[in-house]
Structure 1
Amino acid sequence: MTKQSWIFAGAQVIGPDGVAAQDVSVADGLIVDQAEGRRVDLSGWTLAPGIVDVHGDGFERHVAVRRGALTAMENGLIAVEAELAANGITTAVLAQFFSWEGGMRGPEFAEKLVDAWLVAAPQVSTDLRLQLRLETNLIDRFDEALALIDRAGIGYVVFNDHLPHDRLAQGRKPPRLTGQALKSGRSPEAHLALMQRLHAQVDKVPAALAEMAEKLLARGVRLGSHDDGSAEDRAEGRALGAKVSEFPESIEAAAAARDHDEVVVMGAPNIVRGASHAGNVSAREIVRLGLCDALASDYHYPSPRYAALSLVEEGICDLASAWRLLSEGPARALGLEDRGVIASGKRADLVIFDAATGRVGATIAGGEITYLTHPLARRFLA
């Protein structure tokens, strides 16, 4: 089926060389030099590359609203796509745990999410992708994780370690044990026993993890590490072949990644808040120092575009530079060379928004309208 052709005229366009008024033409799902299509007046609006969300788990509230309440999880993912589009996101990586933590973070939930994704993703125009967040201490279930990765063709795996090793080594109960146990569906006693068992085999983790990383790299899977706290942490990820550092907790860790031409991803909500909710380094400072390549929604899909506008308002960078952290930077992080910039031959992934308020008027993914609302809709429908 032939896709709609458009000529978008009069907008302030965030292009590779900065922001300028120019026309942008779209045909057959691509940005082209010229098109014979419907002309839409975008004067007063800003036209930008669609947001590439390299890591987000905001989908959880759609697919697991209450325990056991939503059995057709694919319907939840359809709702996720609508929220993504309303926030200018045209490519979204759904970050799903494969963890001993259980509940929504457990292997069983990951299997169900993959089942739902296989049904929902082909039905929508937003490019929905999966990331598996693999807990490094769950070594006895690595084979299951690998089978799931193969079944879904997951191309991005991030290593996490959420075990409270210090507490467990001291024989003390971890904080928030009861609440975490209830989320996992276990009793506090059973949850603690599981953590203690996993901690006891910590010496076996490096070899098992190295073997797993080797298998993933052989499949062409992109690897990352999560919450690097130091240069040493980043070096451990690098040794495994993990070239992406997600949410480093210190300037030292981010700088270590940059020194080795590795990708640094920070959380957009951290930018909007002005600080990390966990007390780690401010993402604004990482951006200010030129150590950030990409901003991710993390847990809040509206945050990326508001983070970009906040960076501009704070004088940390101009709009074009800020927006590259939402589009070109994340696309490169994922190895997606066909998107992230407004240039001839690239995918027609676009977002039209009010730069003064941040409100999205329309989103286009692969040349298809995924979101359109008042008052901009009048111009499309006139």
Structure 2
Amino acid sequence: MTDLRLSGAHVLDAEGWTARDLAWSGGIIGEADAPAVDLEGYRVLPGIVDPHGDGFERHMAPRRGALRAAEGGVVATAAELAANGITTGVMAQFWSWEGGMRGPDFAEHVFDSVARTRDTLEIDLRLQLRLETHYLESFARAEAAVARYGIDYVVFNDHLPHDRLAEGRRPPRLTGQALKSGRNPDAHFALLLELHGNGEAVEAALDGLAARLRVAGVRLGSHDDADAETRAAWRARGVGLSEFPETEAAALAARAAGEGVILGAPNVVRGASHKGNASAAELIAAGLCDALASDYHYPAPLAAVLRLVETGLCDWPRAWALVSSGPARLLGLGDRGDLVPGRRADLVILDRTDRVVATIAGGRVAYMTGAVTERFLRAG
């Protein structure tokens, strides 16, 4: 059943809820001479577009070194995304000196597994490479991976504890981090000092890399902008997305320049950042957010919307835009994000308890459970 018409449901449009039929043919919303599914009592919304999520790690490597082939992990990740109403999911994979599941070897393992599997999936699974800014020795390898796997989104991070390294002091939790990376603590500390010492060369290397990636059509973002000055430095390189800005000043700077701001949905659900950074809810209230991302928890986008509506910060159209049309626009995906003719048939169906009971991606069932299944079967 690839061509269907849904009737009797309340459909979320940009202006609010409307009682109307919704049909698609060939995976595209529009008129269709197709079987009708009676969805009275249910709500239909645009599929969630998740611009940044790393909750896939436990599927790709449930135990360190235990599995070599990760295609099953990709399928499990797609299933979890669909079960949470996510029809487009960006897998945010580290490319870092931190090693282990954040190192280049594991990153290429993930990229290769996704490349071999993605065409068999209903949801649109995409890749983001998160590059550590001081990891200069791996820039060429990362750039080659971007080209080889057709990665169209690169984000820059800097997780070095520069203040402590500048004083020659070991950072907290160094031993645990070293063991995860497969290094002994002394060797790991020596590496951190070496990377910190790259400081003078980093700016020029980033300028060149960003310029080459832009020419290749890669979308660029920065992660955890600390202030307006940091955002300005990235802006000068053509890095136009600000992921999880740590302060209101950084978010304000991005907004003033017309740049996209992506915040973490778990921050909204918790009511605060788990690291003590700016409150996502407060930034949303101030109009400083274009999109919410699942970050480390795939159920978070839907939960964040429900929280925003419950607290009165947003109505349904505005809240849902943060997880649908907003991220679609930032990612340059003009074919999705709302339920209008000509768009991809990406949608999520909620029951009266606001639980996801069905997810349709490209007109195909990606997830379905419970009583709504009987209604679809009757239509067939």
Q: Does 1:187 align with 2:184?
A: yes
Distance 1:42 1:269 in 2: 30
CA contact (8 A) 1:12 1:22 kept: yes
Name 2:26's counterpart in structure 1.
28
Question: Any idea what SS the aligned residue of 2:235 has?
Answer: helix
Match of 2:370 among 369, 374, 379: 374
Distance 2:282 2:225 in 1: 16
Note the alpha carbon deviations across 1:176-227, whole angstroms, 9 max, x for none.
Answer: 1011111111111111110000111211000001000011001000000000
AA aligned to 1:360 is V
Match of 2:59 among 45, 58, 62: 62
Distance 2:184 2:356 in 1: 45
Q: Does 1:240 align with 2:237?
A: yes
Name 2:300's counterpart in structure 1.
303
Distance 1:67 1:325 in 2: 35
Distance 1:270 1:43 in 2: 34
Distance 1:272 1:358 in 2: 15
Name 2:75's counterpart in structure 1.
78
Question: Any idea what SS the aligned residue of 1:277 has?
Answer: coil
Q: Does 1:165 align with 2:162?
A: yes
The alpha carbon displacement at 1:16 in A equals: 2.3
Name 2:15's counterpart in structure 1.
17
Question: Any idea what SS the aligned residue of 1:232 has?
Answer: helix
Name 1:318's counterpart in structure 2.
315
Name 1:100's counterpart in structure 2.
97
Give the number of equivalent residue pairs. Answer: 378
Name 1:364's counterpart in structure 2.
360
Question: Any idea what SS the aligned residue of 1:279 has?
Answer: coil
CA contact (8 A) 1:306 1:358 kept: no
Distance 1:41 1:313 in 2: 28
Distance 2:63 2:105 in 1: 16
Match of 1:258 among 242, 255, 258: 255
Note the alpha carbon deviations across 1:236-283, whole angstroms, 9 max, x for none.
Answer: 111111110000011111111000110000000011101100011110
Aligned CA RMSD, in angstroms, stands at: 0.8
Question: Any idea what SS the aligned residue of 1:97 has?
Answer: strand
The alpha carbon displacement at 1:362 in A equals: 0.4
Name 1:117's counterpart in structure 2.
114
The alpha carbon displacement at 1:71 in A equals: 1.4
Distance 1:345 1:377 in 2: 26
Match of 2:146 among 149, 169, 179: 149
CA contact (8 A) 1:91 1:128 kept: yes
Q: Does 1:269 align with 2:266?
A: yes
Distance 2:137 2:28 in 1: 45
Distance 2:155 2:237 in 1: 11
The alpha carbon displacement at 1:17 in A equals: 2.2
Name 1:208's counterpart in structure 2.
205
Q: Does 1:225 align with 2:222?
A: yes
Correspondence list, 1:283-362, <5 A: 283-354=280-351, 356-362=352-358
The alpha carbon displacement at 1:305 in A equals: 0.5
The alpha carbon displacement at 1:357 in A equals: 2.9
Question: Any idea what SS the aligned residue of 2:52 has?
Answer: strand
Give the gaps of 5 or more residues in structure 1: none
The alpha carbon displacement at 1:44 in A equals: 1.3
Give the gaps of 5 or more residues in structure 2: none
Distance 2:172 2:353 in 1: 40
CA contact (8 A) 1:4 1:37 kept: no
CA contact (8 A) 1:83 1:301 kept: yes
AA aligned to 1:119 is R
The alpha carbon displacement at 1:69 in A equals: 1.2
Distance 1:125 1:5 in 2: 15
AA aligned to 2:369 is T
AA aligned to 1:11 is A
What TM-score do you get using the length of structure 2 for normalisation? 0.98
What TM-score do you get using the length of structure 1 for normalisation? 0.98
Distance 1:114 1:321 in 2: 34
AA aligned to 1:147 is A
Distance 1:100 1:358 in 2: 41
AA aligned to 2:288 is L
